[in-house]
């Protein structure tokens, strides 16, 4: 009973901190640059839950400092963090409808569909990880009242996983360099996504949903959902089959790597991670018809050889 007495308050506190991190991930440009990976998919299913940021931990830890100050032990923090993350897996589905009272208290499939949607009225809503009560308290809750359209209003239009992770950072860097005043060069990173310095003109291409416009701009017009096009490059059956085979290989290599990585020296662990990233990049480029099959095969073979060579060092 005693472990539960400690676990439940820690879980509630973690979810409260997560709410503010998640909200910053939509309302502060540098945090959106990390979080956008989770929202780029134009489909909404359990695989969407697996689209996790590779850079969120660089700044996200700041939001959990209150837990350390209040004396939550690291092990307990790790347990509640895992519980909170695993809970959110099942809500990424369109196969579960409204759940009545449950929707009013917890993050549910219906509530989280709204969070991932780009419809007017759904942008930047429903941030809670387990409890949607936080959204009701702080004015960010919206119920599901119409069919959701998913993705980002500025679509990624790419299957390149590297570009998916750096696209918004790249745009922020470009805007920072272009800003005429030093203060604006910094503000670009910490203002809402899509913010532009006064008088800079142009369009806001970064906004999570287009609702946040640059300084001095007129209120944005309603977003036309009919203009949304699902990114789906034409693939032959052979093309698709080759991609499935390569993805299966990379998944197996990734599992092998993760099994051994904790015991690897840092340089070898970094080398293995880089090799897998290269293989995933090659697969994405191949599926976009930007890399020949033989080039893809060569890069995947190099990735496989690298992972298999360094893995015995962990034994």
pLDDT in tens, 35-65: 999 999 999 999 999 999 989 989 999 999 9
Q: How far is CA 289 from CA 4, 75, 89, in A?
A: 53, 46, 32
Mean pLDDT computed over 289-303? 88
Q: Within this chain, do residues 310 and 261 fall inside the same structural domain, yes or no?
A: yes
271 vs 214, higher pLDDT:
271
**pLDDT band, residue 121 (cuts 50/70/90):** very high
Q: Within this chain, do residues 145 and 278 fall inside the same structural domain, yes or no?
A: no
Token pair in block for residue 54: 């590779």
The values of phi and psi at residue 311, to 5°, are: -60, -40
Q: Within this chain, do residues 27 and 85 fall inside the same structural domain, yes or no?
A: yes
Q: Which of 230, 308, 241, 245 is nearest to 276 (CA)?
A: 308
* Total tally of structural domains belonging to the chain: 2
Q: Within this chain, do residues 207 and 252 fall inside the same structural domain, yes or no?
A: no
Token pair in block for residue 119: 């419809």
pTM value?
A: 0.88
Q: Within this chain, do residues 202 and 249 fall inside the same structural domain, yes or no?
A: no
Q: Which of 161, 185, 313 is nearest to 250 (CA)?
A: 161
**pLDDT band, residue 221 (cuts 50/70/90):** low
pLDDT in tens, 206-219: 444 443 332 333 34
Q: Within this chain, do residues 134 and 21 fall inside the same structural domain, yes or no?
A: yes
pLDDT in tens, 10-37: 999 999 999 999 999 999 999 999 999 9
The pLDDT of residue 294: 85
Last residue of a domain, one of 231, 250, 276: 231
| Cβ proximity of 117 and 149 under 8 Å | yes
Q: Within this chain, do residues 210 and 142 fall inside the same structural domain, yes or no?
A: yes
Q: Within this chain, do residues 184 and 271 fall inside the same structural domain, yes or no?
A: no
Mean pLDDT computed over 167-195? 94
| Cβ proximity of 196 and 202 under 8 Å | yes
Q: Within this chain, do residues 241 and 99 fall inside the same structural domain, yes or no?
A: no
Least confident residue range of 116-130, 143-157, 162-176, 235-249 = 235-249
Q: Within this chain, do residues 175 and 245 fall inside the same structural domain, yes or no?
A: no
- State the Cα–Cα distance between residues 300 and 285, nearest whole angstrom: 12
Last residue of a domain, one of 177, 210, 231: 231
Q: How far is CA 138 from CA 107, 228, 272, in A?
A: 15, 30, 43
Q: Within this chain, do residues 250 and 214 fall inside the same structural domain, yes or no?
A: no
Domain containing residue 41: 1-231
Last residue of a domain, one of 231, 261, 284: 231
**pLDDT band, residue 279 (cuts 50/70/90):** very high
Q: Within this chain, do residues 201 and 267 fall inside the same structural domain, yes or no?
A: no
| Cβ proximity of 207 and 173 under 8 Å | no
The pLDDT of residue 199: 63
Residue 120 neighbours by CB under 8 Å, 6+ apart: 211, 222, 223
């Amino acid at each position: 009973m005693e472990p539960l007495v400690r676990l439940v308050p820690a879980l509630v506190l973690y979810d409260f901190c997560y709410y503010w991190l998640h909200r910053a991930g939509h309302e502060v440009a540098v945090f959106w640059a990390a979080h956008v990976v989770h929202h780029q998919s134009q489909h909404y299913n359990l695989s969407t839950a697996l689209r996790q940021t590779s850079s969120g931990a660089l700044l996200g830890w700041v939001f959990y400092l209150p837990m350390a100050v209040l004396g939550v032990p690291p092990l307990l923090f790790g347990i509640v963090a895992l519980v909170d993350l695993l809970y959110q897996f099942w809500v990424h589905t369109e196969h579960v409808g409204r759940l009545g009272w449950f929707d009013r208290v917890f993050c549910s499939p219906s509530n989280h569909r709204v969070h991932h949607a780009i419809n007017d009225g759904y942008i930047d809503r429903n941030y809670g990880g387990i409890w949607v009560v936080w959204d009701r308290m702080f004015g960010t809750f919206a119920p599901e009242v119409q069919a959701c359209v998913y993705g980002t209003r500025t679509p990624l239009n790419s299957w390149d996983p590297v570009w998916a992770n750096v696209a918004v950072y790249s745009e922020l860097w470009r805007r920072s360099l272009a800003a005429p005043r030093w203060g604006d060069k910094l503000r670009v990173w910490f203002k809402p996504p899509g913010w532009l310095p006064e008088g800079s003109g142009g369009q806001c291409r970064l906004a999570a949903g287009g609702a946040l416009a640059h300084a001095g701009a007129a209120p944005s017009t309603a977003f036309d959902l009919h203009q949304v096009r699902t990114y789906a490059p034409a693939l032959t059956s052979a093309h698709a089959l080759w991609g499935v085979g390569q993805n299966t290989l990379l998944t197996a290599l990734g599992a092998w790597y993760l099994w051994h990585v904790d015991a690897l020296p840092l340089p070898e662990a970094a080398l293995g991670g880089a090799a897998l990233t290269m293989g995933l990049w090659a697969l994405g480029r191949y599926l976009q018809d930007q890399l020949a099959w033989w080039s893809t095969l060569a890069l995947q073979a190099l990735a496989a050889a690298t992972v298999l060579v360094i893995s015995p060092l962990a034994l």
